[in-house]
């Protein structure tokens, strides 16, 4: 596979958005958008977890894009407390869909703050049929908008997450698993913190397994 990752700029609502993009050679390949952690805590699209997630989609022959929210890296604009970042994510998804109009599946994924934006995007875009939320923070952000959660997906978190007490994750699991017609797979990784420090290989292994299982259905 020629892993040619392009640096691109996507027109966004606050100006141009810096992004990295890999296009699969297969016309009907699935697409995935990968979203960064919190910009005000040093989050960028080059965060290790984001890059590993991007590469896992790439290795599974997705056309995949990761993007810097407004005000991050070479992206125009400034931080907008989530509202603007959601608009940025929507613009990136629009671009990705235009580039891959005959895609077979549409996935959205995000790490930490990015998982909040990913889930909010999921609620607004019926074409998204799988999601991956990595280290969500239901103790910081209100995820009650997932009622009902429109599609199946994966929530992956560290059991030693120093930013999120486990009971908040379990509460979210309880609420989502009560919903009919979808299956949200919660995977807690032992001895792993919020950032998957020195456990990235474990994250990749679980993610890869889930992607292979869910794309085999198509």
Domain that includes residue 50, residue range: 6-215
Q: What's the predicted TM-score (pTM) here?
A: 0.97
DSSP assignment string, 20-84: EEE--SSTT--EEEEE---GGGT--TT-HHHHHHHHHHHHTT-EEEEEPPTTSTT--S---TTHH
pLDDT digits (tens, 9 = 90+) for 43-64: 999 999 999 999 999 999 999 9
Provide the domain count of the chain.
1
Let me know if residue 1 belongs to a domain. no
Confidence of residue 141 (pLDDT cuts 50, 70, 90): very high
Confidence of residue 2 (pLDDT cuts 50, 70, 90): low
Range 145-166 average pLDDT: 96
pLDDT digits (tens, 9 = 90+) for 36-45: 999 999 999 9
Check which CATH number belongs to the domain holding 91 and give it: 3.40.50.1820
Would you state the pLDDT for residue 147?
A: 86
Let me know if residue 145 belongs to a domain. yes
DSSP assignment string, 82-127: THHHHHHHHHHHHHHHHHTTT-S-EEEEEETHHHHHHHHHHHH-TT
Let me know if residue 191 belongs to a domain. yes
DSSP-based three-state secondary structure for 216: coil
């Amino acid at each position: 596979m020629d892993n040619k990752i392009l640096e691109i700029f996507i027109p966004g609502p606050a100006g141009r958005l810096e992004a990295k993009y890999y296009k699969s050679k297969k016309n009907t390949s699935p697409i995935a958008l990968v979203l960064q952690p919190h910009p005000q805590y040093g989050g960028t699209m080059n965060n290790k977890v984001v890059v590993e997630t991007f590469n896992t989609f790439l290795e599974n022959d997705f056309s995949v894009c990761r993007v810097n929210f407004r005000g991050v890296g070479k992206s125009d604009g400034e931080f907008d407390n989530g509202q603007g970042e959601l608009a940025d994510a929507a613009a990136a998804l629009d671009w990705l869909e235009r580039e891959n109009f005959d895609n077979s599946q549409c996935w959205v994924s995000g790490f930490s703050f990015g998982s909040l934006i990913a889930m909010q995007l999921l609620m607004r875009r019926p074409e998204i049929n799988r999601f991956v939320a990595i280290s969500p923070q239901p103790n910081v952000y209100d995820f009650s908008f997932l009622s009902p959660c429109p599609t199946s997906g994966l929530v992956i978190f560290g059991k030693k997450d120093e930013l999120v007490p486990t009971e908040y994750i379990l509460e979210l699991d309880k609420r989502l698993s009560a919903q009919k017609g979808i299956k949200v797979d919660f995977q807690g990784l032992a001895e792993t913190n919020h950032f998957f420090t020195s456990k990235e290989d474990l994250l990749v292994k679980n993610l890869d397994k889930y992607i292979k299982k869910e794309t085999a259905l198509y």
